[in-house]
Each structure stands twice: as C-alpha cells, then as structure tokens.
Amino acid sequence: MSRAGGFGVLGAVAHSPEQLEIDLAWIDAEVGSRPYGVDLLLPQKYVGATEGGLDRDELRQLLPPAHQAFVDDILQRFGVPDLPEGERPRGMSMNVSPAGYEPLLDIAFAHPIRLIASALGPPPADVIDRARAANVKVAALAGTTAHAVKHAEAGADIIVAQGSEAGGHTGEVGTMVLVPEVVDAVSPVPVLAAGGIASGRHMAAAMALGAAGIWTGSVWLTTAEAETEPVVKQKFLAATSSDTVRSRSITGKPARMLRTPWTDEWEREDSPKPLPMPLQPLLVGAALNRINRSATTPGSGAHELATYFVGQVVGSINTVRPADRVVLQIVEEFIDTLTALSGHLDV
C-alpha cells in the first residue's frame, strides 16, 4: 500500500518483539523512504490494569474452568481435529498493558516509522512524548465523539472516527453520523473517516463530511498479498453486508467480524459470557488456531467455525486484487465521483 502511494499501517498488537523486528525490517527493505506506521492497542481498562498488567501465567490462573469446557465442547461437537503430533498450539496474546506494548514500542521506534496508532483508548502521555521526540505522528481511533475529544485533549495528532460498520473493535454509531460530529468537536485536529470505506465513492462521501482523508481496513483482507487464512478469504469474497456481527467472542471487547457458528455459539442463552480483555483471547487463541489449521480438513466442521474481523463493506468486496490496484481504483473512482458531482453544480 505504501509503495502505491497510500500509508500502510501494520497491526502489531499480537506480535512478539522478535516477530515485530522481523516484519519491520522486511517493510523497511520493501518501502524504501515511503511512509508507514504501526498500530497497537493501548486501552485504559483491561484485566490487571491496576497492577500494571499481569503475565501470561497469572492470567491463565484467572480463566474459569467452565469457559474452557465450553470452548472444548464447541471443538468436539464440530469435529475439529487435534493439531498434528508434535505441533504446538499457537495461542493469541494481546499486548495491552505497558509491560506488553513497551517492548513493541522500543522495536517500532528503532525503525523509521512515521505513525503510531492507538486503536483503543487515548494514547498515553509517555507514548505521545516519545513520538514527539522521534518526529512520529500519533493517531487515535474513536467510536464516539466523547472518545474523540479525549484523544484530542491527550495530544493525538490525528483522530480516526470509526463508525459501527467497521471491522474489528468498533462502537455503535454509524460513520455518516459520527464523522461530522467528530470533525466539529476536535477541529482543527484532522480527522480520518473509517468504517464502511472501500471505494472512491466512499472516500468522496467521507471528504464531504469534513474528513481530511480515509482509514481503511477490510478492503485489504482479500488482496493478493493479504495473509488472511485462505478459507476465511473465500468466505469474505462470498459474504454480503448482512453477514457480519459485533461479537466479544475473540478479544473480549465488541469487534465486528464475519458471523459464523463460532459467533453464534457465544450468543446462545446458555453460553458463558465472553471474558474481558485480555482473558478472552488467551482462552480462545489455541482453539482458533486449531480451527484455522483444520478448516480444509474433509469432514471437519472447522470450515463452518472459521471467522475473522471484517466490516460490513465486505459485501462489496468480491474479487482478489493486488494492493496497488486497490489504491489506484480508489483514487480513480474518487476523481470520477468528484467530476460527476461538479456537473450537478452547473446551472
């Protein structure tokens, strides 16, 4: 995306410091002097926040046995096979505490990043100070106007107003309503519109609402370069805009994803409530690993369960395109849309 003229941002909340170093070194080699950024979760509320964060073993002690039994029952009923002998399950860790994300910041600031994005909560003061010293801009995502104001007051350089249509962690207010509210509330801080945006027409609408630009996510999940699980990518290509749901079943916080039997199981009346972050991802990480690993196994129900975060705009994404082609088509359609609109002004 960066090579095509956009501004690529790497979601790194689940990275280990070692993996982040590998990925950023690869990005540096690929993009040259073009800009890119890193996206982390920096929430204020999570299990262990008052202690400054708990380690993995301490968190595991907090997992209720009934929840683990519920997850195990899903895997058994859907016939999800065990991992091949000798293959260790890969859990899901979310580095949401300072102890978790500070090593990632150390790695990120050692590379020529141009942006740090906080996807949950106002960016901490020490993060902003560190970014200022490194000439790195700070973006913060907001699902409500009140949150956007807090982000601006904290010192964020850019506010991303993300409507409910968006994939991943998102609120309940739609993009059409949220963006102009946030633009008015945080001016002169620039606002990027997010949620339901995947085309030039969407971009034109966002700019008409007062946004300075757009922040996109779902449109990249079906690109030729995307690392999306193949089974999930095919589901995305076949999905409609009605096939997503806001669910706490993966991260513990409401996040929009493809609706599958996995999300349905967590909505049953007799199901346990999802655990708060970061307990829920710790609980389900190994199970999701098994599901993705077995999604193409004949006779397994893993294919049905497989899901991932994606926005409602998935309904208009039905072809696999190279990332640079996506950028070009957005820009071309944006220009065509503005040209067509200008024709309506002729009197």
Q: Tens digits of per-residue pLDDT, 161-195?
A: 999 999 999 999 999 999 999 999 999 999 999 99
CB atoms within 10 A of CB 305: 24
23 has a pLDDT exceeding 90: yes
Placement of tokens 């860790």 in the chain = 93
Q: Would you tell me the crossing angle of helices 200-208 and 323-344 to the nearest 10 degrees?
A: 50
List, in order of start, the domains of the chain with CATH numbers.
8-344 (3.20.20.70)
Residues forming beta bridges with residue 256, ordered by sequence position? 168, 246
Q: Is the pTM of this model over 0.85?
A: yes
- More confident site: 151 or 50: 151
The confidence band for 51, taking pLDDT boundaries of 50, 70 and 90, is low
| Angstrom distances, CA of residue 177 to CA of 96, 98, 170, 180, 202 | 29, 33, 14, 6, 14
Q: Would you tell me the crossing angle of helices 279-294 and 65-77 to the nearest 10 degrees?
A: 10
Question: How far is CA 296 from its chain centroid?
Answer: 25
The confidence band for 61, taking pLDDT boundaries of 50, 70 and 90, is very high
DSSP state of 79: T
The pLDDT of residue 56 is 78
CB of 152 within 8 A of CB of 186?
Answer: yes
* Dihedral angle sign, alpha carbons of residues 33, 5, 29, 120: positive
Q: What span, in angstroms and rounded, lies between the C-alpha atoms of 166 and 195?
A: 4
User: Strand, helix or coil at 161?
Assistant: strand
The CA angle 89-94-98, to the nearest 5 degrees, is: 140
Give 266: exposed, middle or buried? Use CB within 10 Å, 0-12, 13-18, 19+.
buried
Comparing 51-60, 120-129, 146-155, 178-187, the range with the smallest average pLDDT is 51-60
The pLDDT of residue 98 is 72
347 has a pLDDT exceeding 60: no
99 has a pLDDT exceeding 90: no
Q: What span, in angstroms and rounded, lies between the C-alpha atoms of 247 and 253?
A: 7
H and E: helices and strands count for the chain: 13, 10
DSSP state of 91: -
What ranges in 43-173 are assigned the alpha helix state H? 56-60, 65-77, 98-109, 125-133, 145-154
CB atoms within 10 A of CB 130: 18
Mean local confidence (pLDDT), 310-327:
97
pLDDT averaged over every residue in the chain: 93
End-to-end CA distance of the chain: 40
The pLDDT of residue 52 is 67
C-alpha torsion 103→109→110→111, nearest 10? 120
> What is the spatial order of strands in the sheet that 244-247 belongs to?
168-169, 255-258, 244-247
Q: What span, in angstroms and rounded, lies between the C-alpha atoms of 285 and 203?
A: 35
The pLDDT of residue 197 is 98
